[in-house]
Chains A and B, each alone.
Chain A
Amino acid sequence: MATANSRPTVLPGDEIDPSLIPQSKNKPLRLGPGLRHIPPNTILPTVAGQLITLPHKSSMWVEYNSNRYTPTASDLIIGTILRSGPDFYYVSLSPYTASATLPHLSFEGATKKTRPQLVPGSLVYARVTLANKHMDPELECASASTGKADGLGPLTGGMVFDVSLGFARRLLMGRSRQEGKVEVLELLGGDEGKLSFETAVGRNGKVWVGSENTKTVVIVGRALKETDEKGLGVEAQRKLVRRLVKETR
């Protein structure tokens, strides 16, 4: 358990205690979101949040929650097709932001003749390949090196639910149950709920829930949104799942 002092709350422009900055001889220091480096050796936070440092990985970042997604390369996102151009689909990642481009041929096994025909409004699960402040982001639905989709591609059926970016990150954690303290999905699919459904989580604060049963989609979506908005702990999540399942049985 880290002490409160090793994970201080920082505000933009706060000085960071030099003893907290990881000092490694062979690994370069990696700065995550919420920090900026002013040459030669000043590191300042740019957002309000909790400063997290990992000395063994020589990395540090500011953990915070927000609602507006800024694209970053290799993020997995759920996008909505806006329209189709001659070579690209134009995809919306978040409302009122510049659209991202997704090449027509960037799907698994796609050729000019056999590419998926996506109509405006359809959903895709994609990876950000290029994110640059001066250019519109670019996406892919198949790995450029292997050509494999690895689960990416068009999402059919189901429904998308908006969650906060912090909650989406927690859902995407490798061990979301232990590290992120999110258990709703396991509970709904496990003995508690006995529901069968599939999900896809986008870093842009969107969760897609698909199931053969519409009721299941609604239950899962509501459980996720309520967990996010009310900030429920593990015990409260268990209670919520029990209630939702009871209500709909």
Chain B
Amino acid sequence: MASPCATSAPEAALGVLPRSDGSAKYSHAGYTVTASVNGPIEAQRKDENPYEAFVDVIVRPAAGVGGTRERHLESILQSSLSHIILIKNFPRCLIQIVLQIEDTPENDYVNTKLVQASLNFAIMPALFQTAVLALLSAGVPMRATAAATAVAVVPQDGVKKTVVDPSPRDIEIAQSVHVLAFTSHGELLLAESEGDFTVKEWDGIYETAKKTCCHSTPAKDGMEMVLDEEASAGPDMRHFLRSTMESKVAADLYWK
């Protein structure tokens, strides 16, 4: 049985932590993550770079302390977020992003136990999306916005099926799991894969992920064109980001 939250639309709230420079709470596909962003602030001596800001990403698990798995997620997020933040504008500074995982979907089939040092790509899109929202809420200058999605190739009745935002059960039986992130300009920002797959399969995954992350805004040609073909491919991340930010800006500038 598929968990009901796997298909739900993403939800976000900005500025949830009043003391930080920027914060966001995001939930989608059963994952809930809260992020805080502080920066640009003074970097520690060892992190200081005379040419660019240091982006520090900290991932905290829902229970216990972070381990190797979190360090790995942090390093992936750090390198991709550094590409969209204008780090050259803030030399010798630190931009600190703390991501607190609050909720993860339960696997109905196995006992949920915190397994250390194993990859968990399904949570990457939630972490990435929360970080981007928190950066936007903090007003950190960025090159572009970005969206991420997870895609799994699941064998079903002898046919390989591509699943966007896979559930824990999907991941367990999946042949390969992929995380892709795209900037708002449609450039590939992050591509991490795990498992067995062919180049042709990857091309298909790339197209699926790109469709989810960078739907072209349908209102371009005057009339709203609803693309019915594969509407279930996943939520329109770009539209979601825009509408979330629009309501935030409208609330901030109520006096205008």
Contact = CB atoms under 8 A, between A and B. Distances in A.
Interface of A: 7, 9, 11-14, 34, 36, 44, 46-50, 63-68, 70, 95-98, 133-134, 166, 170, 180-182, 229, 231, 233
B246 A68 contact: no
B254 interface: yes
Nearest to B18: A229
A12 B145 contact: yes
Contact of B256 (A34, A44, A63): A63
25 contacts: A9-B246, A11-B145, A11-B245, A13-B183, A34-B141, A46-B141, A47-B141, A48-B245, A50-B253, A63-B256, A64-B249, A66-B21, A67-B138, A95-B41, A96-B38, A96-B42, A133-B91, A134-B91, A134-B92, A166-B252, A180-B255, A181-B255, A182-B255, A231-B254, A233-B255
Nearest to A52: B256
Contact of A66 (B22, B143, B250): B22
B40 interface: yes
Given A46-B142, A47-B141, A134-B91, A170 B22 contact: no
Nearest to B250: A9
B138 A66 contact: yes
Contacts of B255: 170, 180-182, 231, 233
Contact of A96 (B41, B90, B91, B246): B41
A224 B220 CA distance: 43
A134 B141 CA distance: 17
What class of interface size applies to chain B in its complex with A? Answer: 35 or more
A10 to B, nearest CB: 9
A134 B252 CA distance: 31
Nearest to B249: A9
* Listed residue (A48, A95, A231) with the most chain B CB atoms within 10 angstroms of its CB: A48
Contacts of A14: 184
Contacts of B145: 11-13
Q: Which of A11, A14, A181 has the most CB of B within 10 A?
A: A11
Interface of B: 18, 20-22, 38-42, 50, 84, 86, 89-92, 136, 138-145, 183-185, 241-242, 245-246, 248-256
A133 B41 CA distance: 12
Contacts of A49: 139, 249, 252-253
A137 B138 CA distance: 22
A166 B15 CA distance: 15
Nearest to A165: B139
A68 B91 contact: no
B148 to A, nearest CB: 16
Given A12-B144, A12-B184, A13-B145, 12 more contacts: A9-B245, A11-B184, A12-B142, A13-B143, A13-B185, A14-B184, A36-B141, A48-B248, A65-B252, A96-B42, A97-B40, A182-B255
Nearest to A95: B41
Q: Which 3 A-B pairs have the closest CB atoms?
A: A13-B144, A66-B139, A46-B141
Nearest to B133: A48
A96 B39 CA distance: 9
A97 B41 contact: yes
B183 A11 contact: no
A189 B97 CA distance: 42
Given A67-B21, A233-B254, A11 B136 contact: yes
A54 to B, nearest CB: 14
Contacts of B250: 9
A97 B252 CA distance: 25
A133 B90 contact: yes
A152 B9 CA distance: 53
A64 B89 CA distance: 18
Contacts of B184: 11-14
A5 B84 CA distance: 27
B21 A50 contact: no
B54 to A, nearest CB: 14
